[in-house]
Amino acid sequence: MSSLDMTVEVAYALPHQQLIIPVQIVPGSNADAAIQASGILNKFPEIDLNVNQIGVFGKLIKLDTPLRNLDRVEIYRALIADPKEVRKQRAEEGKVMK
């Protein structure tokens, strides 16, 4: 690693597996470049960057967003269930139990 490179991480999580890949990229590189450099798309062919959202430390970004040293690019999966709907169902179940 030269002093001109910067380190970022690319992360993807499944229900029972999480992968964080550190990569070296040149300053000014964007999120897409980091994802491509990580090779994560080869490990998880189900990732579609036209569908999956991405973020840096929980904040949504676009593929062309420039990165800073030590950023973590997170690739998000689609939600299995709507959290609001799940809470509503739990609340209804609680009323029945009482």
Number of structural domains in the chain? 1
Q: Is 49 within a domain?
A: yes
- CATH number, position 55: 3.10.20.280
| Spatial separation of the C-alpha atoms in residues 34 and 73, rounded to whole Å | 8
Residue type at 76? Answer: Y
Q: Is 13 within a domain?
A: yes
The per-residue pLDDT for 65 is 97
- What's the pTM? 0.78
Q: Is 1 within a domain?
A: no
The per-residue pLDDT for 81 is 67
pLDDT digits (tens, 9 = 90+) for 6-55: 999 999 999 899 999 999 999 999 999 999 999 999 999 999 999 999 99
pLDDT digits (tens, 9 = 90+) for 46-62: 999 999 999 999 999 99
44: containing domain: 6-97
Q: Is 23 within a domain?
A: yes
The phi, psi pair for 95, rounded to 5°, reads -65, -40
Q: Is 19 within a domain?
A: yes
